[in-house]
């Protein structure tokens, strides 16, 4: 059992708080019984289970540990103190895992089922990204396309906000230029949102599946990206605000797509 927070294996896990490390190693650290359980259930590759026996009291947690052991997953046993040092949570549950990131190649991108995909142009806030993943999962979207400088879905704050949807949704990272080439080649329908759009988001019926393109928190969709869209719509605002939070706007759009599918 590891009892020192400065142990090399523990330092290697802590370093996963940095995006550079996560990207270089193509893994991330998830913690909590529910999240680790979701990762296992959804077939995510677990590189290492991290267990603090003195903190792990749930029987579901113990069952997960046994399941991972029988599948031959390497296990790191740590003291409660070491787990607290790894954890970003207030009441750590004593179970975490280093899991492999899953990315699909942009080439494999296809529009299969309604509503389709959501593409994010330079989303900056990991909490917003995680929340959008959660909503995308809730409406049955295929996954999230991260364009250009979008933040990392494997950021701890994104993982937390996604509530496990990160492992259920498909992820593609690409440049806007490559995405535009794909859109032109496949004829995929691209729906964008912009405050300045002339059309109300509920004034038309959308062809589904499609790609819903949402701009960044600060800038919205740049003109070049608006120009690629088959249609631009606006969500109405009745108060002083001239924009919604990105995750809320995405939620309103995704639930409008669901409403139209339900007829």
Q: Which residues bind a copy of itself (CB under 8 A)?
A: 38, 127, 131, 134-141, 161, 163-165, 168, 202, 235-241, 243-245, 247-249, 251-252, 255, 258-259, 262
Q: Please, what is the minimum distance in Å from the beta carbon of residue 239 to a copy of itself?
A: 4
Q: Please, what is the minimum distance in Å from the beta carbon of residue 89 to a copy of itself?
A: 13
* Cα–Cα distance, 103 to 109 (Å, whole number): 11
Is the Cβ of residue 12 or residue 124 nearer to a copy of itself in the bound state? Answer: 124
CA distances for 13 relative to 83, 100, 153, 199, angstroms = 11, 13, 17, 48
- Using the minimum distance from each CB to a copy of itself, give the nearer residue, 48 or 250: 250
Minimum distance, C-beta of residue 190 to a copy of itself, in the bound complex (Å):
22
156: nearest Cα among 87, 216, 245:
87
The CA radius of gyration of the chain, in Å to the nearest whole number, is: 20
Whether the CB-CB separation of 39 and 97 falls below 8 Å is answered with: yes
Q: Which is nearer to a copy of itself, 20 or 240 (CB)?
A: 240
**Is 187 or 263 the residue whose CB approaches a copy of itself more closely?**
263
Shortest spacing between CB 255 and a copy of itself, in angstroms: 5
Tell me whether residue 18 is exposed, middle or buried, using C-beta atoms within 10 angstroms of its C-beta: 0 to 12, 13 to 18, 19 or more. exposed
């Amino acid at each position: 059992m590891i009892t020192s927070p400065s142990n090399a294996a523990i330092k290697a896990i802590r370093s996963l708080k940095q995006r550079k490390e996560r990207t270089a190693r193509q893994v991330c650290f998830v913690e909590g019984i529910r999240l680790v359980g979701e990762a296992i259930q959804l077939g995510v590759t677990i590189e290492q289970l991290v267990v603090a026996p003195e903190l792990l009291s749930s029987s579901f947690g113990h069952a997960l540990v046994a399941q991972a052991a029988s599948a031959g997953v390497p296990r790191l046993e740590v003291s409660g103190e070491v787990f607290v040092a790894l954890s970003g949570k207030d009441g750590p549950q004593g179970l975490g895992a280093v899991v492999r990131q899953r990315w699909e190649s942009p080439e494999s991108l296809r529009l299969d089922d309604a509503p389709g995909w959501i593409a994010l142009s330079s989303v900056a806030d990991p909490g917003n990204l995680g929340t959008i993943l959660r909503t995308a999962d809730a409406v049955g979207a295929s996954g999230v396309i991260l364009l250009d400088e979008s933040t990392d879905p494997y950021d701890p704050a994104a993982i937390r906000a996604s509530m496990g949807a990160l492992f259920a949704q498909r992820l593609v990272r690409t440049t806007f230029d490559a995405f535009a080439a794909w859109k032109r080649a496949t004829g995929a329908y691209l729906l964008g949102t912009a405050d300045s759009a002339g059309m109300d988001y509920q004034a038309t019926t959308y062809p589904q599946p499609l790609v819903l393109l949402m701009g960044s928190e600060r800038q919205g969709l740049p003109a070049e990206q608006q120009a690629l869209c088959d249609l631009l719509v606006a969500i109405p605002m009745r108060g002083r605000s001239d924009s919604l939070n990105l995750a809320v706007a995405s939620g309103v759009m995704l639930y409008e797509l669901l409403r139209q599918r339900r007829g």
